[in-house]
């Protein structure tokens, strides 16, 4: 890593903070609209050649990028861990996923085929054409992993990319740009512009030469971007917020469900779009479940992200911690709480609450922090009704030993990514995304490629 630390700011700068220590890691110049324009111009110029690179050669280059990420995995993970405050074990897993995502989509260029459709008087052929310049706007919670979910399929399909990482966590994206160049990706094919969302992000959304926006972040900003992108009829994929349900039926393996619940909501300090932040428990087993959950929460290891035994790090900023703390209001009762360091660092102990009123904010809103809300239910219908009573529809889990019920409930839930007897949501080979206000479009799996290609139909009269 060629990261310089303690560099004096020049003009507008981004101060990159370690949330576990509150120390400045580095200061970077903050990109402005003209930097966004330059990046788009580079991407546009290189699109002409990148789209015509033979599919097999594009595959080789993507494979090399994945291998280069793997070769730098330890350094990248340490940087991600330090900048985002995530446990080093988690960061290593995420960087491994970045490498594997490039390897997975390296298989795509040679498989992007169309159809031939015989019609009266001739034949139609379909082609999956690249769109042009794709702009990705990404959040701070899984900085490089989420970036790779867009960069790899977009490049595989023959697009060029401009990535705007969150200014809180731009470091690994900048490293990826350098790593990709070293791996042989031609200049201008993948460009990173680190600057403010309201400046660089909006410029990319407005830019006439950007064909497509993939935005991952809050639902509020996603709505603004969607409206703005409509002015130029840009293609838009939105990966937004969530308020996912973890439904535990009385016939579940209660110990397994309770053992898995803490990491499903406190993983990444709860700063996870698919956090199972509403735990719905069938009333007859509520007390037993809460006892098991409380034991798990009390034993969570919260502390130094660089310690390999740490399970949860700090929150991203002091402001975000205040927002999370505001959910512990008169409408909630704390039923279990773990421990966290005193500070410095933006620490918040893992906390389990029950609501005192149906209108409790902790039940309805995305907290994006380590607070789980436990709610009782009576029977399958009520579980489904509570789980669907949200503007979001990203993910969720169903714990039961009854296979028919598992499938019945999964079909009834209004969410894009569900797991049975597991809290796992994200796999490179399977589609990931949300219903309702959790977004439009899908990341990962073969389906993601549809969101980075335009379908062209050519008729030949015979």
Annotated catalytic residues are: 239, 273
Residue 24 forms beta bridges with which residues? 17
* 3-class secondary-structure state, position 407: helix
Candidates 75-83, 200-208, 249-257, 447-455; binding stretch for ligand TAP (CB under 6 A): 200-208
Q: Which stretch binds ligand TAP (CB under 6 A): 45-53, 194-202, 303-311, 375-383?
A: 194-202
Cβ nearer to ligand TAP, comparing 396 with 439: 439
| Contact flag: residue 430 with ligand TAP (CB under 6 A) | no
> Considering only CA atoms, which of 32, 5, 14 is closest in space to residue 170?
14
DSSP helix/strand/coil, 54: coil
Please give the residues from 232 up to 261 whose contact with ligand TAP meets the rule CB under 6 A: 239-242
* Shortest reach from residue 105's CB to ligand TAP, in Å: 17
Using DSSP, state whether 455 is helix, strand or coil. Answer: strand
- Going across the sheet that includes 332-337, the strands are 332-337, 351-355, 371-377, 278-282, 245-248, 395-399, 417-420
State the Cα–Cα distance between residues 334 and 298, nearest whole angstrom. Answer: 13
Among residues 225, 236, 269, 300, the one that binds ligand TAP under rule CB under 6 A: 225
**Minimum gap (Å) between residue 415 Cβ and ligand TAP:** 11
Contact call for residue 267 and ligand TAP (CB under 6 A):
no
**Could you say whether residue 62 binds ligand TAP (CB under 6 A)?**
no
Q: Which of residues 389-418 bind ligand TAP (CB under 6 A)?
A: 394
For residue 455, give the nearest of 123, 119, 124, 59 by alpha carbon. 124
Q: Is 317 in the site for ligand TAP (CB under 6 A)?
A: no
Size of the site for ligand TAP (CB under 6 A): 31
CA distance 316 to 411: 35
CA distance 176 to 69: 8
Q: How many angstroms separate the most distant Cα atoms in the chain?
A: 77
141 belongs to the binding site for ligand TAP (CB under 6 A): yes
The percent of the chain in helix, strand and coil, each rounded to the nearest 5, is 40, 25, 35
- Which of 47, 327, 368, 452 binds ligand TAP (CB under 6 A)? It is 368
Q: Which stretch binds ligand TAP (CB under 6 A): 46-54, 215-223, 332-340, 415-423?
A: 215-223
Decide: 270 and 244 in contact? Cβ < 8 Å.
Answer: no
Q: Give the chain's end-to-end CA distance (angstroms, integer).
A: 59
Distance CA 130, CA 251 (A): 49
Strand 351-355, strand 371-377: pairing = parallel
Task: Name the 3-class secondary structure at 398.
Answer: strand
DSSP state of 201: I
Q: Using the rule CB under 6 A, is 198 a contact of ligand TAP?
A: yes
Of the candidates 439, 448, 449, 451, which one interacts with ligand TAP according to CB under 6 A? 439
Residue nearest to ligand TAP (CB): 197
Mask of contacts with ligand TAP, 100-139, x by CB under 6 A?
A: -------------------------------------xxx
Residue 233 or residue 404: which is nearer to ligand TAP going by CB?
233
C-alpha distances in Å from residue 48, one per residue of 112, 133, 177, 189, 381: 18, 10, 20, 10, 55
Smallest separation (angstroms) from ligand TAP to the CB of 396: 13
Is residue 197 involved in binding ligand TAP (CB under 6 A)?
yes
What string marks each residue from 148 to 177 as x (binds ligand TAP by CB under 6 A) or -?
----------------x-xx----------
The residue among 124 and 317 lying less far from ligand TAP, judged by its C-beta, is 317
Q: In the complex, what is the shortest distance from the CB of residue 147 to ligand TAP, in angstroms, rounded to a whole number?
A: 10
Least CB distance from residue 393 to ligand TAP, whole Å?
Answer: 11
Minimum distance from CB of 204 to ligand TAP (Å)? 7
Query: How far is residue 298's CA from residue 21's CA, in Å, rounded to a whole number?
Result: 23
Contact flag: residue 425 with ligand TAP (CB under 6 A):
no
Which segments of 200-317 does DSSP mark as H helices, in order? 202-206, 219-230, 254-266, 286-298
Q: Which is nearer to ligand TAP, 225 or 252 (CB)?
A: 225
Question: Residue numbers of the site for ligand TAP (CB under 6 A)?
Answer: 137-141, 146, 164, 166-167, 196-198, 201-202, 205, 216-218, 221, 224-225, 239-242, 273, 366, 368, 394, 434, 439
């Amino acid at each position: 890593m060629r990261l310089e630390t303690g560099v004096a700011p020049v003009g507008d700068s981004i101060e990159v903070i370690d949330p576990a220590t509150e120390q400045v890691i580095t200061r970077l110049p903050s990109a402005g609209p003209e930097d966004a324009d330059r990046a788009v111009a580079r991407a546009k110029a290189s699109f002409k050649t990148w789209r015509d690179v033979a599919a097999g050669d594009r595959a080789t280059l993507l494979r090399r990028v994945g291998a280069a990420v793997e070769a730098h995995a330890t350094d990248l993970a340490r940087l991600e861990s330090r900048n985002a405050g995530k446990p080093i074990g988690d960061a290593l897993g995420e960087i491994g996923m970045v490498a594997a995502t490039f390897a997975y989509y390296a298989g795509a260029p040679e498989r992007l085929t169309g159809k031939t459709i015989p019609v009266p008087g001739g034949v139609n052929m379909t082609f999956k054409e690249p769109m042009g310049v794709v702009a990705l706007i990404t959040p701070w919670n899984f900085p490089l992993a989420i970036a790779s979910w867009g960069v790899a399929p977009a490049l595989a399909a023959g697009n060029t990319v401009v990535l705007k990482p969150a200014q809180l966590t731009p470091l690994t994206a900048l490293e990826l740009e350098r790593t990709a160049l070293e791996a042989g990706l031609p200049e201008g094919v993948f460009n990173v512009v680190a600057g403010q969302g309201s400046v660089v992000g909006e410029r990319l959304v407005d830019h006439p030469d950007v064909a497509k926006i993939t935005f991952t972040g809050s639902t509020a900003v996603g709505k603004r971007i969607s409206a703005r992108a409509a002015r130029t009829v840009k293609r838009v994929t939105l990966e937004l917020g969530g308020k996912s349900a973890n439904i535990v039926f009385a016939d579940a393996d209660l110990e397994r469900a309770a053992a898995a619940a803490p990491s499903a909501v406190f993983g990444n300090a709860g700063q996870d779009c698919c956090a199972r932040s509403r735990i719905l428990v069938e009333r007859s087993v509520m007390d037993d479940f809460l006892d098991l959950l409380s034991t798990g929460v009390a034993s969570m290891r919260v502390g130094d992200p660089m310690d390999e035994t740490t399970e949860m790090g700090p929150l991203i900023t002091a402001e975000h911690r205040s927002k999370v703390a505001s959910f512990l209001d008169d409408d909630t009762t704390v039923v279990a709480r773990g421990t966290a360091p005193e500070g410095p660092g933006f620490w918040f102990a893992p906390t389990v609450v029950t609501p005192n009123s149906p209108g409790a904010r902790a039940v309805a809103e995305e907290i994006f922090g380590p607070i789980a809300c436990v709610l009782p239910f009576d029977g399958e219908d009520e579980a489904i009704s509570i789980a669907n009573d949200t503007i979001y529809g990203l993910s969720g889990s169903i714990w039961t030993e009854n296979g028919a019920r598992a499938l019945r409930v999964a079909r009834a839930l209004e969410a894009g990514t569900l797991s049975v007897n597991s809290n796992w949501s994200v796999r490179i080979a399977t589609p990931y995304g949300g219903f309702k206000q959790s977004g439009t479009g899908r990341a990962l799996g073969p389906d993601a490629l549809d969101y980075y290609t335009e379908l062209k139909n050519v008729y030949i009269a015979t």
